[in-house]
């Protein structure tokens, strides 16, 4: 495993659409391992392959307190959303920056694991936010383009 460089700011890779993964092989496994290590080292809760310069539809997420519930998702797609939540959001590709973003409260994602097995996962709150944020990266979208004015009286706690 290796820690990869996270692309930041205006790096063109962050604004391009990633291509689907077709080969579920050792190279994909190494990418997933590297992405997880990179995410944990950077103290993030999600990372998309374009953020490390790879234009493939691959994300890793871990929103758990103990950092022990890694989700690896290949060719993920959001298939259902509901509700609404607003909150401060940041991104490893924009260190030190945050903005108020409104997203669905719940999301269901369909994806494949590293072995090519399809699965679905439902997320609520932070997990839904992370799934949506990372899937946006795969389509060249960054949270900064979704930022809204912070509502009057908003409290992060």
Catalytic residues: 134
| Residue 42 Cα to chain centre, angstroms | 14
Could you give the CA distance from residue 39 to residue 17 in angstroms, rounded to a whole number?
Answer: 21
How far apart are the C-alpha atoms of 7 and 59, rounded to whole Å?
15
46: number of Cβ within 10 Å: 26
- Residues 6 or more apart from 43 whose CB is under 8 A from it? none
- Token readout for 21 is 């993964």
Instruction: Please enumerate in sequence order all residues whose Cβ is within 8 A of that of 67, keeping only pairs 6 or more positions apart, or say none.
Output: 40
């Amino acid at each position: 495993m290796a820690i990869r460089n996270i692309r930041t700011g205006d790096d063109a890779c962050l604004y391009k659409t990633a291509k689907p993964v077709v080969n579920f092989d050792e190279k994909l496994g190494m990418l997933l391992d590297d992405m997880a290590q990179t995410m944990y080292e950077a103290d993030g809760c999600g990372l998309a392959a374009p953020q490390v310069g790879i234009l493939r539809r691959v994300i890793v997420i871990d929103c758990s307190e103990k950092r022990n519930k890694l989700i690896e998702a290949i060719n993920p797609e959001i298939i259902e959303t509901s509700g609404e939540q607003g909150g401060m959001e940041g991104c490893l590709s924009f260190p030190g920056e945050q903005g108020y973003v409104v997203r669905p409260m719940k999301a269901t994602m369909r994806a494949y694991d590293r072995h090519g097995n399809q699965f679905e996962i439902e997320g609520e709150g932070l997990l839904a936010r992370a799934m949506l944020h990372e899937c946006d990266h795969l389509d060249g979208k960054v949270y900064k383009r979704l930022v809204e004015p912070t509502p009057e009286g908003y409290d992060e706690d």
